[in-house]
Amino acid sequence: MKVLGPVQLEVDGVPVRLTPLTVRLLVRLVAAGGEAVPVRQLRRDVWGLADEPRHLDQRNRNEVQKRVLELRRALAPGALGQDSAGTAVLRTEQQVTVQGPETAYRLVLRPEELDSARFTAIVNDALLAPPATAAHRLSEALSLVRGRPLAEVNGEGFAVPFVRRLTALQDAARRELVRVQTDLGRPELALPVAELITHEHPDDVEAARTLDALRAELRARHGAELLRHRVPLEGQRADVVLVRGDLFEQTDCNLVIGFSDTFDTETAEDLVISRESLQSQLVDRLFAGKRRLLDDRLRAGLRSVKSVGTETVRAKPLGRRVRYPVGTTVVVPVEGRRVFATAYSRLGNDLVARSNHADLRLSLENLWASVAVNGLFKPVAVPLIGSGLARVTDLDRGQLAALIVDSFIEACRRYPALTPELRIVILPQELARTDLAPVERRFEDLVLGLRAAD
């Protein structure tokens, strides 16, 4: 039987329809908490009738008996009709009063037959349990609540103690669930419960303080994180994350560094490569300024790649002269992780790097293919490729981020175990000029497309 919300009698799991007065009688007996209720009291509470002398109220007593009979017929077909000893659940008793003997009715239900009793037992057990068990049990108990207990008689005197007791227990369960979820390091699960408490108790200062603390903890947890989405593909557990920060501080990740088709690293006087570029920072921060060491590893990786041409000294007096296909990706091992050096631009003989949408997409496709084979299933940190000196002129910064995400999602379809996380790193000073709405729209469109396909 369900009373934690609109009253619903079920027999063998099937809802039983009762007339409104019989429902009210059932609710009154439930509110008695297993105590017998005299007929005279039932007439007052259920029918709103004043007491009358015995010789005048036979018709009223008949009405009570009629509703009792309807209720017994509803209970009789299933498990609620009798207890394990074969005794009727709705029992008739005789009480001795100053007016003489009086008939009374008692509803006797096992805890598992009444949702409020199950709720009470589960909560009382959970309040003494260790945090993980308590969280599970309290969530189970609160899932039984579908609204205000005994909603059909809300505010009536006979229901007030029953409703007050269950409401107080529900409130205690919610507050304890907030506490244990917080203790378990799950503020995101505690938050909706804390919000519900403050909604129902707007003047509760302590509840408001708890809610503020949870929100602050969740904001702090994001740290530099700007956006996070799970790739919504079956069998995939990869996340796409945008963070504000420094690419080289992502020490738990493989790194992606964009290069030109000549894989130049020379930074002298900023003529070929700028000292502010990621290629230059790669030399200084991961190779301790030893440019030749990086060059050796790049050359080793390029030995298996067929070049597409070689410039003359006259045509290109500075920098390297051997050109490789745009999209070439070289895997550079560095202290247990990988740097993926990917050529997405062409360095002109005027030493200006140029790229476009098609070049960048091709390089990203080849990058993910290499990550699938050589990435060690580590997170991959990517800068906003195409936003620097080798600018992709036909895309703005937000569109570049969306293109990186789009190519990654497509790669996830081809390579189920690509990487657990794609982390796009945006410099703090560049964030104000980067519209992240295209990335959000990409995920919205993908989810809508999947729903439409279903």
Q: What is the pLDDT of residues 374-428, one digit of tens each?
A: 999 999 999 999 887 666 767 888 999 999 999 999 999 999 889 999 999 999 9
pLDDT higher than 50, residue 84: no
Write the single-letter amino acid at 229.
H
Rounded Cα gap, residues 90 and 107, in angstroms: 5
Inter-axis angle of helices 160-183 and 187-200, nearest 10 = 150
Say if residue 350's pLDDT is above 50. yes
Residue at token pair 């079920």? 10
Rounded Cα–Cα distance for residues 241 and 263 (Å): 28
For residue 281, name the pLDDT band (cuts at 50, 70, 90): very high
Highest mean pLDDT among 73-87, 233-247, 315-329, 433-447: 315-329
Name the packing angle between helices 160-183 and 20-31 (round to 10°): 70
Contact in structure between 294 and 313 (CB atoms under 8 Å): no
Distance CA 123, CA 134 (A): 9
* Other beta carbons within 10 Å of 104: 19
Q: What is the pLDDT of residues 131-157, one digit of tens each?
A: 999 999 999 999 998 887 777 777 788
Q: Is the pLDDT of residue 81 over 50?
A: no
C-alpha to C-alpha distance for 264 and 272, rounded to whole angstroms: 7
Rounded alpha-carbon distances, angstroms, from residue 176 to 197, 317, 330: 11, 73, 54
pLDDT of the residue at 11: 73
In the predicted structure, residue 61 carries a pLDDT above the cut 90: no
* pLDDT digit string, tens, across residues 290-329: 999 999 999 999 999 999 999 999 999 998 999 999 999 9
Classify residue 148 by burial, with Cβ atoms within 10 Å: 0-12, 13-18, 19+: middle
Distance from C-alpha of 109 to C-alpha of 380, rounded to nearest angstrom: 59
Model confidence pLDDT, tens digit, residues 353-364: 899 999 999 999
Assess whether pLDDT exceeds 60 at residue 234.
yes
Query: How far is it, in rounded angstroms, from Cα 381 to Cα 404?
Result: 11
Q: What is the pLDDT of residue 60?
A: 57
Asked if pLDDT for residue 53 goes beyond 60, the answer is no
Cβ-based neighbour number of residue 62 at 10 Å: 9
The set of residues, in sequence order, having a beta carbon less than 8 Å from that of 5 and lying 6+ positions away, is 145, 146, 147, 148, 149, 151
Sign (positive or negative) of CA dihedral 374, 424, 228, 220: positive
Which pLDDT belongs to residue 443?
Answer: 85
CA–CA dist 282, 414 (Å, integer): 30
Average pLDDT over residues 256-279: 88
**Phi, psi at 287, each rounded to 5°:** -120, 20
Q: Count CA atoms closer than 13 A to 439's CA, side-chain side.
A: 25
